[in-house]
Structures are given as structure tokens and as C-alpha cells.
Structure 1
Amino acid sequence: MSTSRQLSESRAIPTKTVLINDTTQLPHDYCTTPGGTLFSTTPGGTRIIYDRKFLLDRRNSPIAQTPPAHLPVIPGVTSLNVLTENQKNEANNHVNNHDGKPATGKR
């Protein structure tokens, strides 16, 4: 039994380029599929795909709160940029010590 096949021409998928000047011009459902899956890329080009159910399951997680809970204290990153007096002295000693030797309290 032989089957006949009809070959068809390949056609390019139509695309449209739109100039966006601000992220507020993007549609609300940008980067989502009809099933609710969200997708994006990192600055390095890694593709990230989030399932809608996965995100909804984690919406009450402590890390999902603003600001996230249970983060380490990193001055200027996860907490206010407040240096203690001791940290200021260490920073000054490092700046004033150009030859790479350990700083001493004597001048």
C-alpha cells in the first residue's frame, strides 16, 4: 500500500517589529503564554521559564515578600548603607595604605 504525499512550500512566520520607548508601553500579558507560563531571559541570555502553578504556590513564601525576609545583612545591598565607626577606620586605613602593608595605629 503506497501513500502519496503532497509537498508544500515552506513559508516564513510573519513578524512585526514595534519600537518601544518605555516599558509602560508593553502589554500587561507580555512574556506569557495562553496557559499562563511566564518566560524571560537573563542579561547573559539564559532562558527562564516559570510555570504559573509554581509561581502561585510560592506567592506566600517569605522570600516573595517585599522586602524579602531572611536575607543576610549586606550594607548598601540588603540594608541601609550605614558604616560603623570601626568600618570607617578600616576603610580609611586601606585607602591611606598604598604600599600594601598592614595598617598600624601609629603614624
Structure 2
Amino acid sequence: MSSAKTISIRRVTNPSQLPANYSQTPGGTLFGTTPGGTRVVYERAFLLSLQQSPLSRTPPTLPMIPGFTLPKGSPHSVSPKKTSCSPSPRAATTVSSKAAVSEDEQFAMDI
């Protein structure tokens, strides 16, 4: 059998001794918890690799709104493309297929 070892304890006497970011390890790994208690861990190297991903770019159809998506006084005065308010036929079929799915039971229950 192995011998028991004591766990070191550090007492905080000043608020400056508390960490600035509770969800980050010294190595840069970020973590968080969901409301259900599941722990989610993001490795720093993985997050940095996503920085160059095409998915992390600004959406191409994002409207140019001065003061919101553009800085105030920006030289870009491009107006957003006008879109029609009528739903496309594809959107209508998507909504109807979602309604059909929600009517079915998610799983069978034994009572």
C-alpha cells in the first residue's frame, strides 16, 4: 500500500491573490460548465486553430449598419442589399417538415 500524503492548502489573505479568470488554467485551457453540470473543456491550441477557419469570418450577407456592424463615421457607405419579405418556397417546406417532426413522439416510454 502507499502512504497517505497531505494535500497542500493555500490561504487567501488578500483579494489580489485570487485569479483574474476562473475558467482558465495557467496553460491556457478554457473550461466551463453547463447548467446541467457537464464540464466543457476547450484546449488553447484548438481555439487558436479555429481563428483562421472560414466559419469564424464575418457572414457575407451581414448588413452594413453604421454604429453597429460598422464603426461610427466609417468611410464605407455601402447600403445593404434589399431582400423581399415573402418567404422562399424552400423555407416553407422546411417549416412544414419541422412541424411534422415535432408532432411525433421523441421516444417510446414504458409505463
TM range (shorter): 0.3 to 0.5
Whichever of the two has the greater Rg, that structure is: 1
Tell me which of the two structures has the higher relative contact order, counting C-alpha pairs closer than 8 angstroms and 6 or more residues apart. Answer: 2
TM-score, length-scaled by structure 2: 0.36
* Structure-1-length-normalised TM-score: 0.37
